[in-house]
Chain A
Amino acid sequence: MLAATDLVIDIPERKSGTPLSFEVKAGEIWGILGPNGAGKTTLLHTLAGLKKPRAGSVNLNKDNIQQLRRKQVAQQLAVVFQNNGEGFPATVLETAMIGRHPFIAPWDIETADDLAIARKALQRLELDDLEQRLVSTLSGGERQRLAIATALCQTPKLWLADEPSNHLDLKHQVQIMGLLAEQADAGCGVILCLHDLNLAAHWCDKILLLYPNGDACWGDAEAMLTVGALERLYDQELSMISSKGQTYFMPVSSRK
């Protein structure tokens, strides 16, 4: 669905990097891991066509994403941003409704169908009681869920989410990851920037490790998520714990 070919992301002050070549197929969940400043967000924006790559290309179903019209891209691909810009005051329902924007012609107005899609998405994210609330009055976690509801309204084939578990309590973390897995099972491609190694280990099929110097490697999750590789990635000692058949990574800290 979404393929990177010899892609080098454009980060100022960075001389080069491993050219990335991979394809996100329908049904796959990809996790991008890396320390702060490694370029996870830049990579995600480049894959979404929001940023020009320094070299190489990103293809959305065979078409170069830089050459597609933004509207065509938005009809297939949704982006969940890390910071949901405040902007002008708007209600929760209005915010979810803008996810329908790519599907409505300039002279048309939202139909009852669009409204139904938005209501369903809010319900799915347990925000239906807050419909008429102003976004500025929501908590961080509620805003994050609203951003995901907006993306859900976009009925995308591809999800690109920048730390979708940000600000979320444990229950909602699991709920959001479950929703994304459900989307993948329904035939979507999903790409996530993640900080939480355990979420990555539990939910992702493929992992891409991004090092601060521009090096990168990618592959199946089990092969990539080893203590050695992750310790090198984060420059932090880790220990691996197994419980109920699942693997957990914990940072080793000196203070008891």
Chain B
Amino acid sequence: MAGVKSNSRAKPLPRFLAPLLVLFLFTLGALMLAITTGSVSISNQELWQVLNGGGEPLHRTLVFELRLPRALSAFAAGGLLAVAGALMQVLLRNPLADPYVLGLSGGAAVGALVAMLSGLSAAAVSGSAFVGAMISAITVFGLAHGTGSWTPTRLLLTGVVIASGWGAAITFMLAVSPSDQLPGMLYWLMGDLAYARSPWMALAVLAIISVVMLPLGRSLNVLARGQMQASALGVSVRPLEWTIYISASLLTAFAVTTAGSIGFVGLIVPHMLRLVLGNDQRLILPAAALAGGALLTLADTLARTLIAPEQLPAGVITALIGVPSFLYLLHRSR
């Protein structure tokens, strides 16, 4: 009985594959839409020519230098945030946890604003945001760890307090900033993909962490039932929690570096998926990567076409979609 491996395999693959396939097609659709819509529309036929190495030069420039990198950046940032949110919810065993709950976005924002105030380049702003996020993650981790045991409540409280500290610093910086710099800063704070150019780093991080998390999925399911129960079922709780914390921090840091602090994707997407697909993290994590990515790609496409030629920050769109859908889900779950 115990421990004996048999050859009779259950077939859970269709159970996992079907939803992932649907989400993959949805993602492809979102990316296509993002590439073909804008100031110059590109028909599917023209897109096909461009992808095959032909087509008009204008279309080639639009696709490969502007729209594709931006769409992929949006996809990467959305995927990173959704996976980070799903991980944080398991780590803190709190359905209201999102990637920013432990103050990472605040740290990143302070880093980005300091760089903007110093008049540094866009690349330096991204780098500075990343450093700020990691400083915040390490601070929260160190303080919550302290001398005693590491409970989700303690981690959560530490994170929330640190986050409000960053909030005060952000308000202070906005108050003393010259007015010509304010719009750029506010756009960054709301989340904006206008300056996202190279999606590859973020995509690579998303892919790597998704692969690392795959074999841990079942352990995450067990951890979702509490530290003691997980430990009694053979999970090495402490190392697993550290892995989740570090992974979620990295995911979030790369997301805010790519697109600023975009809200609600990390909170809403895992919840929507759990309501529809159940609560198996082995399915939820890859599904969150796809759904989060697709959602932000669509939101960004709306953001740059809705009042064209003006652009809205994508964060405004995700919040506009996010607030009512979250309230609806909350209302329905009662």
Residues of chain A having any CB pair with chain B under 8 Å: 45, 48, 50, 69-75, 78-79, 81, 84-85, 87-91, 94-95, 98-99, 101-104, 106-107, 109-115, 117, 154-155
Contact = CB atoms under 8 A, between A and B. Distances in A.
B272 to A, nearest CB: 14
Given A106-B216, A107-B215, A74 B233 contact: yes
Interface in B227-264: 228-229, 231-237
Given A87-B229, A115-B10, 17 more contacts: A50-B228, A70-B236, A71-B236, A72-B234, A74-B234, A75-B2, A78-B232, A81-B229, A89-B274, A89-B279, A90-B279, A94-B221, A102-B233, A103-B3, A106-B219, A110-B10, A113-B4
Contacts of A89: 274, 279
Interface residues of B, number: 38
A85 B229 contact: yes
Interface centre among B3, B218, B278 (most CB of A within 10 A): B218
B1 interface: yes
Given A87-B93, A90-B279, A98 B232 contact: no
Interface in B91-118: 93, 95
Contact of A69 (B4, B224, B236): B236
* Interface secondary structure of B, over-half rule: loop
Contacts of B234: 69-75, 101-102
A164 to B, nearest CB: 14
A69 B234 CA distance: 8
B14 interface: no
A35 to B, nearest CB: 23
Contacts of B90: 88
B45 interface: no
A112 B228 CA distance: 28
A99 B230 CA distance: 10
B222 interface: yes
A99 B2 CA distance: 11
Given A75-B234, A103-B3, A98 B8 contact: no
Nearest to B280: A94
B178 to A, nearest CB: 48
Contacts of A110: 10, 12
A50 B236 CA distance: 11
